[in-house]
Amino acid sequence: MEHETQHGFDVMAGEGGVPVKMWARGVPIDDRAREQLLRAAQMPFIFKHVAVMPDVHVGIGATVGSVIPTKNAIIPAAVGVDIGCGMMACRTTLTATDLPDSLGHLRSAIERAVPHGRTSGRRRDKGSWHDVPATSEVAWSGLKGRFDTITEKHKVIAQSNNLRHLGTLGTGNHFIEVCLDQEDRVWFMLHTGSRGVGNRIGRYFIELAKKDMEQWFINIPDKDLAYFPEGTDHFDDYVEAVEWAQDFAFANRTVMMQNVIAAARAVLSVPFDAEVEAVNCHHNYVSRENHFGENIFVTRKGAVRARKGDMGIIPGSMGTRSYIVRGLGNEDSFCSCSHGAGRVMSRTEAKKSVSMEEHLEAVKNVECRKDIGVLDETPSAYKSIDDVMEAQKDLVEIVHTLRQVVCVKG
Task: Please list the active-site residues.
Answer: 339
Note the Cα 38 to chain centre separation in Å. 23
- Give the whole-angstrom CA distance, residue 139 versus residue 310: 25
- Give the whole-angstrom CA distance, residue 1 versus residue 277: 44
φ and ψ of 360, to 5 deg: -60, -35
Spell out a b/e string for 306-330, using b for 16 or more CB atoms within 10 Å of the CB, else e: bbeebbbbbbbbbbbbbbbbbbbeb
Per DSSP, the residues of 74-132 read E-HHHH-SSTT-EEEEEEEEEEGGGS-S--HHHHHHHHHHS--S---TTSPPTTS-SS-
Angle at the Cα of 77 from the Cα atoms of 73 and 81, rounded to 5 degrees: 130
Radius of gyration, CA atoms only, the chain: 21
Q: Which amino acid is at 294?
A: E
- Give the whole-angstrom CA distance, residue 204 versus residue 154: 9
The residue count of the chain comes to 410
- Give the whole-angstrom CA distance, residue 372 versus residue 356: 7
Q: Phi-psi category of 397—alpha, beta or left, where left has phi over 0 and alpha has psi -120 to 50?
A: beta
Alpha carbon distances (Å) from 46 to 40, 51, 68, 283, 363: 8, 11, 7, 20, 42
Residues 6+ apart with CB under 8 A from 26: 54, 387, 390, 391
